[in-house]
Structure 1
Amino acid sequence: MVFDKLRLKKRASSIPDAGPVAELGKEPSTKQIYQSRENFGVCFGSSFVLERWIFDDLFSETNGETEYDAVSSLVSKFGADQARTKFENHWKNYINDDDWNWLSSHQVKSIRLPIGYWDVDGGSFAKGYDFEKFASVYSNAWSIIKQNYIEPAANYQISILIDVHALPAGGANSNAHSGIPNANGGFFKDTSAQINMAKMMGWIANDLKNYDNIAGIQVVNEAEFDESTKAPSTYYGAAISEIRKYDDSIPVYISDGWWPDQWAKWVQSEQGSDGYIGVVVDDHVYRCFSDSDKSKSADQIINDLNGDVLTNISDNSNGVDFIVGEYSCVLDQQTWDKGGNRDELVKKFGNTQSQLFDQRASGSYFWTFKFQSGNGGEWDFKTMTNAGAIIPPQQVNSPNQNEFQQKLNEAYNNHVNYWKSQGGSYDFDRFKAGYTQAFTDGATFSKFNSRLGRRQAWKRSRSNDYVQSKGNSNNQWEYDQGFDEGLKDYYGY
């Protein structure tokens, strides 16, 4: 155990910088756009990590709620070969051509694909854990993920976020989506399991590095709230370091453990003022579970969103991009008991979330895509999209040269006039350069029918590029401010 702790700490002790999000003087590649665009997306809940309330066909032989209950009962009743066939039929039929066409036609850019550690590399990483005895059932899972999900998605210019939703040794939280009964969040107390999972993340990165349409690798889902960053950050550092051995560009997604500012500070601390470790922080937004939300009316919840979704982040989130990896339009029945027109309020709730996520996050993923029986109401992406509750980010037509020049002149003059009034020495050309670069990058993403999503990563990379070409300055902050203003004006924030 002591040796495992030392190994884990060694892997986590020096997190390497990620590579640049785009190369100096070059337009971003297709792969770089997939990695950095704003991802309006949806989660494929109960695809590779079963949840009975979404898809229950594989729970025919059990009263349990978890993947382990489903697979163990089917193997016991039918044997491993028939169980494998049943699972593979589910995976292959979860998504079809009609679904891909619908997603594409509704401007979906990305899929968050929850998987279990048992799905990776024919179940080889399940050795020593609960799912080891069922490895043969999952022997083809990874190839199906690539052939039936990643590759077809690319045909529709849709990316895949690989979300390792379920981890071993008790899971990252105590919920059924950890894959086992009686999950207890014990993963962060098991250093050996953390080492193995960090290695697995490196294996995933290496195996998928030739696919352009991988948005990132999420190394944990919904880590439980912890007052200290010590245990999760050690695993995060080790996982990032393993991934970077094979791919220095792939974004690595971590859970904020329901405390976004805590993990923004951690990323900022690891990066310093000008480094970049390629991390995106995942925040989940639900307003149907806490006693506080249940006590509010729908209007109160909607009105409170502006003040409590990704707000009060350290240093204005400098250097840190967020996604909203899960959200819904669901409110608790106690909220609805307080009155109001439900259809109108659901639409208002969803619209408000869509607007805020567009402004404050680099992407958002609705939970969830489809249900086996009927529709899932306010949990159902298609239903909420058809109701007009979920709105994709508006695409922007690049302004012509005259429009750009007018906006640049106005922003530049405002910047110059303000700082001249403050006295001191400035380098106003850096503001102009940052502003211009933001417009140029915005236009590049528009050509791909996309918006720039990882704005913090992109700004930091472009700012470092400028320093390399023009030299450093105490006024480099003007470039960064110009970049922010340029994006704001380009997208009309």
Structure 2
Amino acid sequence: MFDKLKLKSKSSNITASEPVTPGQAPSKRQIYQSRRNFGVNLGACFVLEKWIYHSIFPEGAGCELEAVAKWTKDEGADGAKKRFEDHWNNYITEDDWKWLEDHEVTSVRVPLGYWEIGGGKFTKGTKFEPYSEVYSNAWDIFKKKFVETAANHSISVLVDIHGLPGGANGSDHSGEQSGGDAKFWNDEESQLLVLDLLGFVASDLKSYDNIAGIQIVNESEFADDPKKQTRYYGAAINLIREQDKEIPIVISDGWWPDQWAKWVQSKQGLGTIGVVVDHHCYRCFSDDDKKKAPDQIIGDLEKDLLTNITDDSKGVDYMVGEYSCVFDGASWEVNNSDNHRDQYVVDYGNRQGQLFAKRARFGSYFWTFKFESGNGGEWDFRTMVDKGAIRPEGSLKGKNVPDKSVFEEKLNNAFGGHTDYWSKTDPKGKYEHERFKEGFTVAWADASEFLKFNGSLIGRVETLKIARLQEHIAAKGLLKYLWEWEQGYDAGLKEFESSL
């Protein structure tokens, strides 16, 4: 572990990412890392939550730390270890994986606690240290039963470091406490521990093609002045990049999407740091939402979901790491809305999916996959899929790449429209319209490679666009009209999808 004095220096001069190989088509690994995802969270598997899986909690335990402590006291480390391993091993079956594949799920987000990484390797000095033996096989089970099995079904895994020492927020899903304060941000020792952990994760998982990304924090607490978060984020990015130049790194937006768009934009310049900003969409917790009827909440999504982002979020990729189809009970009482419950639930899920496809193109992950007892209603993935409330927006599975004549027609039409517009708008202007054509061609080629892999769409559009623009600059020079290349790339993606 590096000296804490280096923490601040490690967070500056953030290392660039290399999401694609210059001059080459995206590889299968790079497609896994950059495609649009229709995903689901495997909630309460490795980070326990009592409301989802209750039997793993002994009487009186409210969080995972309390559960493992009591089972260890009552049954010894071996007994507790068997209980936990049985839960992990039996949480998801081969039939479950097949169901996910059949329903076009492309990715699963797996919440993990720091206490499980490396089989308890990173618990020294933490509250979980006395129970590290219980978790000695957790990391191997995660890799074998989750990462490797997911790959057999062409499903990626988003590695979500969900539980941090002290908690990144005051909720009980940190694993250490049933509510309270977020202590992680004021504890340098804990941050150093996790940074060491993240380097290990990046190195140890690098051999797998189907890792969609590494999420370095879940639901960071809101901070008007996020100095502590930016220091941790910057250092984490650099430590991961020392091991893996390509892997997407996911940060939390701390419930303020624009704050982190600005931060990413300020760090990128002409290159990309390969970061995805994670936003969570729930409309059932705030007092304001509880006063609204379901139809009003659905109608308000257009104006309050990932809107008002600086420079139209240029250069920044978003995902929605958690969402549901749940309204609070108080909302159902407004205007007797419960009389139309099924339709509102479907409308809500569909509207979210439509907006995610436009504003969070890296993908969305429903919370949550399954419940121990029955189903979780509007929290339950299968139930909502079967109801038609959530579905893979813009699915292209089974589609073929358009032939060359379609490409040429689309290119000529788009190029003609671009040149005509500027000829009329600024007839005396001197432009470099060929850049538009080159951007269009590169985008079409990238989109074609993604489509060939199970009908995939490009999700990290901003990251890939920046990376390909760097290739263009290297070949043609840093000239005035790069925006024409960028417009061409955007047009190429749009026209490719419209031709299918």
Shorter-chain TM-score: which interval? over 0.9
Instruction: Work out whether residues 41 and 109 of structure 1, in 8 Å CA contact, stay in contact via their aligned partners in 2.
Output: yes
Deviation digits for residues 365-415 of structure 1 (CA, Å, limit 9, x no counterpart) = 000000000000000000000000001022333333333333222222221
SS, match of residue 385 in structure 1: helix
1:244 aligned residue (241, 245, 248)? 241
SS, match of residue 85 in structure 1: helix
Instruction: Work out whether residues 41 and 363 of structure 1, in 8 Å CA contact, stay in contact via their aligned partners in 2.
Output: yes
Q: Does 1:324 align with 2:323?
A: no
1:34 aligned residue (27, 32, 56)? 32
TM-score (norm 2): 0.95
Shift in Å at residue 482 of structure 1? 1.1
The answer for the alignment partner of 1:442 in structure 2 is: 447
Q: Does 1:25 align with 2:23?
A: yes
Q: Does 1:422 align with 2:428?
A: no
Q: Residue type of the partner of 1:9? A: K
SS, match of residue 161 in structure 1: strand
Q: Does 1:9 align with 2:8?
A: yes
Q: Residue type of the partner of 1:350? A: G
Distance 1:329 1:489 in 2: 32
Deviation digits for residues 345-381 of structure 1 (CA, Å, limit 9, x no counterpart) = 1000000111111111111000000000000000000
SS, match of residue 326 in structure 2: strand
Distance 1:309 1:90 in 2: 36
The answer for the alignment partner of 1:431 in structure 2 is: 436
Q: Does 1:369 align with 2:365?
A: no
Instruction: Work out whether residues 432 and 482 of structure 1, in 8 Å CA contact, stay in contact via their aligned partners in 2.
Output: yes
Instruction: Work out whether residues 125 and 196 of structure 1, in 8 Å CA contact, stay in contact via their aligned partners in 2.
Output: yes
The answer for the alignment partner of 2:191 in structure 1 is: 194
Aligned-CA RMSD value: 1.3
Distance 1:411 1:283 in 2: 34
Q: Does 1:479 align with 2:479?
A: no
Shift in Å at residue 204 of structure 1? 0.4
Deviation digits for residues 452-482 of structure 1 (CA, Å, limit 9, x no counterpart) = 1100011111111111122221101111111
Question: Do the aligned partners of residues 412 and 97 (structure 1) sit closer, same or farther apart at CA in structure 2, a change above 3 Å counting?
Answer: same
Distance 1:304 1:487 in 2: 29
Shift in Å at residue 73 of structure 1? 1.1
Instruction: Work out whether residues 195 and 238 of structure 1, in 8 Å CA contact, stay in contact via their aligned partners in 2.
Output: no
Q: Structure 1 segments of 4 or more deviating over 4 A? A: none
Deviation digits for residues 101-159 of structure 1 (CA, Å, limit 9, x no counterpart) = 00000000001000000001121211101100000000000000001100000000000
Matched ranges for 1:350-389 at <5 A: 350-361=349-360, 362-389=362-389
Distance 1:123 1:194 in 2: 16
The answer for the alignment partner of 2:394 in structure 1 is: 394
Instruction: Work out whether residues 415 and 437 of structure 2, in 8 Å CA contact, stay in contact via their aligned partners in 1.
Output: yes
Q: Residue type of the partner of 2:480? A: N
SS, match of residue 319 in structure 1: coil
Distance 1:408 1:348 in 2: 36
Distance 1:221 1:381 in 2: 20
Q: Does 1:45 align with 2:54?
A: no
Q: Does 1:469 align with 2:475?
A: yes
Shift in Å at residue 89 of structure 1? 0.2
Q: Residue type of the partner of 1:39? A: N
The answer for the alignment partner of 1:347 in structure 2 is: 346
Instruction: Work out whether residues 164 and 221 of structure 1, in 8 Å CA contact, stay in contact via their aligned partners in 2.
Output: yes
Distance 1:380 1:173 in 2: 24
Q: Does 1:290 align with 2:286?
A: yes
SS, match of residue 117 in structure 2: helix
Instruction: Work out whether residues 271 and 467 of structure 2, in 8 Å CA contact, stay in contact via their aligned partners in 1.
Output: no
Matched ranges for 1:119-130 at <5 A: 119-130=116-127
Distance 1:156 1:317 in 2: 33
Distance 2:134 2:109 in 1: 23
Distance 1:321 1:95 in 2: 30
Q: Does 1:88 align with 2:85?
A: yes
The answer for the alignment partner of 2:130 in structure 1 is: 133
Q: Residue type of the partner of 1:284? A: H
The answer for the alignment partner of 1:54 in structure 2 is: 52
Shift in Å at residue 263 of structure 1? 0.3
SS, match of residue 111 in structure 1: strand
SS, match of residue 66 in structure 2: helix
SS, match of residue 184 in structure 1: coil
Instruction: Work out whether residues 13 and 237 of structure 1, in 8 Å CA contact, stay in contact via their aligned partners in 2.
Output: yes
Distance 1:10 1:25 in 2: 33
Structure 1 gaps of 5+ residues are: none
Distance 2:424 2:122 in 1: 62
Shift in Å at residue 488 of structure 1? 2.1
SS, match of residue 122 in structure 1: coil
Distance 2:271 2:469 in 1: 11
Distance 1:13 1:485 in 2: 35
Instruction: Work out whether residues 110 and 160 of structure 1, in 8 Å CA contact, stay in contact via their aligned partners in 2.
Output: yes
Instruction: Work out whether residues 271 and 470 of structure 2, in 8 Å CA contact, stay in contact via their aligned partners in 1.
Output: no
Instruction: Work out whether residues 62 and 69 of structure 1, in 8 Å CA contact, stay in contact via their aligned partners in 2.
Output: no
The answer for the alignment partner of 2:210 in structure 1 is: 213
Structure 2 gaps of 5+ residues are: none
1:337 aligned residue (333, 338, 341)? 333
The answer for the alignment partner of 1:174 in structure 2 is: 170
The answer for the alignment partner of 1:411 in structure 2 is: 414
Instruction: Work out whether residues 20 and 246 of structure 2, in 8 Å CA contact, stay in contact via their aligned partners in 1.
Output: no
Distance 2:478 2:461 in 1: 21
- Matched positions, count: 486
SS, match of residue 326 in structure 1: strand
Distance 2:170 2:498 in 1: 42
Instruction: Work out whether residues 305 and 353 of structure 1, in 8 Å CA contact, stay in contact via their aligned partners in 2.
Output: yes
Q: Residue type of the partner of 1:380? A: D
Instruction: Work out whether residues 395 and 446 of structure 1, in 8 Å CA contact, stay in contact via their aligned partners in 2.
Output: no
SS, match of residue 163 in structure 1: strand
Distance 1:240 1:466 in 2: 26
Shift in Å at residue 63 of structure 1? 2.1
Q: Residue type of the partner of 1:393? A: E
Aligned identity (percent) is 52
Distance 1:43 1:333 in 2: 24
Instruction: Work out whether residues 33 and 247 of structure 2, in 8 Å CA contact, stay in contact via their aligned partners in 1.
Output: yes
Q: Residue type of the partner of 1:175? A: S
The answer for the alignment partner of 1:457 in structure 2 is: 463
The answer for the alignment partner of 2:276 in structure 1 is: 280
Deviation digits for residues 183-234 of structure 1 (CA, Å, limit 9, x no counterpart) = 4111011112111111110010000001000001000000011101211010
Shift in Å at residue 310 of structure 1? 1.4
SS, match of residue 280 in structure 2: strand
Distance 2:23 2:235 in 1: 33
